[in-house]
């Protein structure tokens, strides 16, 4: 019997899985993916922090992506797991507010970080002799700071609005975390205008970085096409394909969820798609970058040898 005890300010998250054997199997799989995402992203952050060979703009941006993914999974999954295991699916007002803020913040920041990574590859491949000037560590830090600032503003704007809406006594949300659209659905007021604004904002947040990324890689592919070195073309294609894989995994479920009109969306679909960009994509990012990147695997080998030498 599930416990839905709540105070007057609590919300209820219906969760992701039914309380059944199938739900337990899916829950176990999800927790396994969560632990892999946690370990992979934490490893990437620490590896880039500790290895001096990776203190370059490309890897600084990658470490920021891993850090954002780390916060992503820690914001949503533990509460979902707690609710499934205990049966108590209530979440406090402040807990819901924090979840909503971090989700809106990181979703926007990560899109801009991915665009910055595309710009970094554009400069590295199209202007290799000017890379250290055009993409210095200072420029990299400015791109990171700008991405986080825009994400912070986006998170504040949406979260403050949604949590100032009047909510009825029945506060059951058909989701596994406090997502802004899901919260607006249970408000006791007409939110159609806000939903149009949300769709517009989501379209801009996705479209502008996506177009920036496409432009960067379009110019990269054009430069690669005219390269005389076969080895250079192969290396450039490998680097670009890695990044484009990550971009595809990030944008596809987001665009399908937020750009479509509300009438074409369903809570069930939204929850399944949310699993992709909150759990599966954060798990895949470090795997994609580490397995296909010789510098990362080399750094991992050096740090492993260093740890073994210290133990001996």
pLDDT at 145: 95
SS3 category, 24: helix
For residue 137, the enclosing domain spans 13-311
Give tens-digit pLDDT for 222-280: 887 777 777 767 777 777 777 777 788 788 887 777 776 666 667 777 788 888 888 88
Task: Note whether residue 1 is domain-resident.
Answer: no
Which residue spans within the chain are E strands per DSSP? 11-13, 90-91, 172-173
Task: Note whether residue 257 is domain-resident.
Answer: yes
Task: Note whether residue 3 is domain-resident.
Answer: no
Task: Note whether residue 224 is domain-resident.
Answer: yes
Task: Note whether residue 239 is domain-resident.
Answer: yes
Whether the predicted pLDDT of 21 surpasses 50 = yes
Cα dihedral 58, 60, 63, 65 sign: negative
Q: What is the mean pLDDT of residues 176-201?
A: 81
- Looking up residue 292, the CATH number of its domain turns out to be 1.20.1070.10
**Structural domains in the chain (count):** 1
pLDDT at 5: 44
Task: Note whether residue 5 is domain-resident.
Answer: no
Give tens-digit pLDDT for 70-86: 998 999 899 999 988 88
Task: Note whether residue 119 is domain-resident.
Answer: yes
Among 86-100, 131-145, 184-198, where is mean pLDDT lowest?
Answer: 184-198
Task: Note whether residue 8 is domain-resident.
Answer: no
Among 112-126, 139-153, 292-306, where is mean pLDDT lowest?
Answer: 292-306
pLDDT at 113: 93
Q: What is the mean pLDDT of residues 105-130?
A: 89
Q: CB atoms < 10 A from the CB of 43, how many? A: 16
* 103, 111 Cβ separation under 8 angstroms: no
């Amino acid at each position: 019997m599930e416990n839905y005890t709540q105070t007057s300010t609590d919300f209820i998250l219906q969760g992701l899985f039914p309380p059944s054997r199938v739900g337990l199997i899916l829950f176990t799989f999800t927790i396994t993916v969560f632990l892999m995402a946690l370990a992979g992203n934490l490893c990437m952050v620490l590896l880039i922090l500790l290895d001096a060979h990776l203190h370059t703009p490309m890897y600084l941006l990658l470490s920021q992506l891993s850090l954002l993914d780390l916060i992503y999974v820690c914001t949503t999954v533990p509460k979902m797991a707690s609710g499934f295991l205990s049966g108590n699916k209530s979440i406090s007002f402040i807990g819901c507010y924090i979840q909503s803020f971090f989700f809106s913040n990181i979703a926007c920041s990560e899109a801009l970080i991915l665009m910055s990574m595309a710009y970094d590859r554009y400069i590295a491949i199209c202007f290799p002799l000017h890379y250290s000037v055009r993409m210095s560590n200072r420029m990299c830090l400015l791109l990171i700071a700008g991405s986080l600032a825009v994400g912070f503003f986006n998170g504040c704007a949406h979260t403050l609005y949604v949590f100032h809406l009047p909510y009825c006594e029945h506060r059951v949300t058909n989701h596994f975390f406090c997502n802004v659209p899901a919260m607006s659905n249970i408000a006791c007021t007409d939110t159609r205008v806000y939903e149009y604004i949300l769709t517009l904002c989501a379209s801009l947040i996705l479209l502008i970085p996506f177009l920036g990324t496409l432009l960067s890689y379009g110019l990269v592919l054009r430069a690669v096409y005219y390269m005389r070195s076969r080895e250079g073309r192969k290396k450039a294609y490998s680097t670009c394909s890695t990044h484009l894989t990550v971009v595809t995994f990030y944008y596809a479920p987001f665009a399908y969820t937020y750009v479509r009109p509300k009438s074409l969306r369903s809570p069930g679909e939204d929850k399944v798609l949310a699993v992709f960009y909150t759990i599966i994509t954060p798990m895949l990012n470090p795997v994609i970058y580490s397995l296909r990147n010789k510098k990362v695997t080399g750094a991992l080998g050096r740090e492993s040898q260093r740890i073994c030498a210290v133990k001996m």
